[in-house]
Amino acid sequence: MINRRLVRGVLSVIREKTFQQTRGISSNKMDINKFGLPARFAGSVKSVWVEYIQLAQDFPSINLGQGFPDFGPPDHVTQGLKEVAEGENVLLHQYTRGFGHVRLVKAIGKLYSKLINREIDPMNEVLITAGAYEALYSTIVGHVDDGDEVIIIEPFFDCYEPMVKNAGGIAKFIPLRFKPKGEPTGHASDWTLDKDELSKLFNAKTKAIILNTPNNPFGKVFDMEELQFIADLCKKWNVLCISDEVYEWIVYKPHTHIRIATLPGMWERTITIGSAGKTFSVTGWKAGWAYGPSNLMKNLQIVHQNCVYCCATPIQEALAMAFEKEIEKFGTDDCYFFSLPKELETKRDYIVGMLKDVGMKPIIPDGGYFIVADYSPLESKADLSKETDKYKDYRFTKWMTKEIGVLAIPTTAFYNEANKPLAENLVRFCFMKKEDKLQKAGEVLRKWKSS
């Protein structure tokens, strides 16, 4: 008697093998086309940081490219982490509250309640993230939907655009332009937004604008007039302001950092991003935060709980201790928030003089620890023919790393494709380095100029 079930099974296997063969797929060969990069990441290019970290490894040089200090943080910050590691509270080595370690969100809530002159609910209006990077990601992905437009001011930190695209949004760009309000000062404040150009970008599809003040890489500190203009447009069009303020404490006199959330009608439509790495000079700790009204923060919480869920407990405990100490000293010269910019201003002034000496034209930053310089007066001294990159600043920085031994970052990395030509003559240096490294870089560049 024929076993009908067995026959059907055999026929099914034969049909499947025949189908695979007609498609050119063997049973033990994977169709790699099925595992290509998802469409939402189409067009993504290698990160400038990935490329230039490798460049620094392949060609030993004086690294003034990457944005981190090569000196230690304040003693009480590392001492706090040591106390956590050696302490008897074993629970500090386990998971903590997903939206932020209670002691840390309370400390941050206490500090910013004072700074923005309103009471922040630390349990509902503060989120601790895996660096400011994740704070930006949770904010953008949590609020931007398919077809939403997001305005990005150029130059911008390079993750903004891919995050907007990943969320299904459409990035709209506006560059800072050299338009001094009076006589040119040589400072980043000479670079301003064209008000008509900005106004035309806002429309019913605009979901958000990303503001970075102090700006990376220019070091521009947006003043009250500029912030009020942005705020008025946000209110007119019901737009969210994502305010990236990771360099908030690194501002040089006479400039002051103004938090846009403090402007009338802006608290309810602003999410502010902060960074422990920038605040305490511990970039490797990868801890950041976002704060804003609870109804807006809920979206970030949803994203956070489904990707990171919980950040490192020992790091958060140590940061809470550091914040508590700084709050006690707040407003005094002993407070790290105020002593750091004084220390960095000396380094800034040194690198400004050094770049001028070698023939570059620096844009003096009013905040942050980067400086952008026009290298074009020295272009004739560089042989860029061996480099194949599309944009000249990439070719120059790679040549300078390989042949001169000083690494900087190409500034076109901070612009969208259409506006990259605006920055081809500019490169970015980081001056948050030890004095001997800055001096060595100066010696190397001066030797090159005179050769």
Q: What is the pLDDT of residue 30?
A: 77
Q: Are 115 and 150 within one domain?
A: yes
Q: What is the pLDDT of residue 7?
A: 47
Domain boundary among 281, 311, 329: 329
Whether residue 131 is found in the same domain as residue 212: yes
User: Do 299 and 363 lie in a common domain?
Assistant: no
338: which 2 tokens?
């105020």
Q: Are residues 297 and 404 in the same domain?
A: no
Q: Which helix (H) or strand (E) is 171 found in, with range?
A: strand 170-175
Does a structural domain hold residue 40? no
Residues 64 and 116 in one domain: no
Burial per residue of 28-61, b for 16 or more beta-carbon CB atoms within 10 angstroms, e otherwise: eeeeeeeeeeeeeeeeeeeebeebbeebbeeeeb
The domain that holds 194 is classified in CATH as 3.40.640.10
16 located within any domain:
no
Q: Quote the number of domains for the chain.
A: 2
Q: Are residues 377 and 429 in the same domain?
A: yes
Which residue(s) pair with 288 in the sheet? 129, 275
Q: Of 267, 297, 329, which residue sits at a domain end?
A: 329
Interatomic CA distance for residues 449 and 359, integer angstroms: 8
Do 310 and 396 reside in the same domain of the chain? no
Yes or no: say if 384 and 392 are a contact pair by the CB < 8 Å rule.
yes
| pLDDT per 10-residue tile (average), the chain, 451 residues | 53 54 58 84 82 94 94 96 96 97 98 98 98 98 98 97 96 97 95 98 98 98 98 98 98 97 98 98 97 98 97 98 98 96 97 97 98 96 94 97 97 97 98 97 94 83
What pTM, to 2 d.p., does this model score?
0.92
Q: Where are the beta strands (DSSP E) in 176-269?
A: 177-178, 191-192, 206-212, 240-244
Type and span of the H or E element at 446: helix 435-450
CA distances from 220 to 257, 260, 277, 409, 418 (A): 10, 15, 20, 18, 22
What pLDDT shows up at residue 20? 52
State the Cα–Cα distance between residues 260 and 243, nearest whole angstrom. 7
Both 292 and 415 in one domain: the answer is: no
- Which residues, other chains included, contact 417 with Cβ-Cβ below 8 Å and sequence gap of 6+? none
Can you give the pLDDT at residue 110? Answer: 98
Assess contact for 221 and 188: CB atoms under 8 A: yes
Residue where a domain terminates, one of 266, 296, 329: 329
Radius of gyration of the chain, Cα coordinates, nearest whole angstrom = 25
Distance from C-alpha of 27 to C-alpha of 23, rounded to nearest angstrom: 11
Q: How far is Cα 64 from Cα 436, in angstroms, rounded to an integer?
A: 12
Residue 110 shares a structural domain with residue 255: yes
- How many residues can be counted in the chain? 451
> Per-residue pLDDT tens for 26-47?
557 778 888 888 888 877 777 8
Query: Is residue 254 domain-resident?
Result: yes
> What are the tens digits of pLDDT across the range 106-132?
999 999 999 999 999 999 999 999 999
Three-state DSSP state, 19: helix
Output the CA torsion sign for 361, 440, 67, 212. Answer: negative
Instruction: Please report the pLDDT score of residue 308 as a whole number.
Output: 95
Structure tokens at 104: 């840390």
Give the CA distances from residue 100 to residues 15, 89, 293, 436, in Å, rounded to whole numbers and listed in that order: 55, 18, 16, 39
Q: Tokens in use for 257?
A: 């950092």
Quote the domain boundaries for residue 403: 48-70+335-450
Could you tell me if 162 and 251 lie in one domain? yes
Judged on CB neighbours under 10 Å (0-12, 13-18, 19+), 93 is middle
Assigned domain for 43 exists:
no
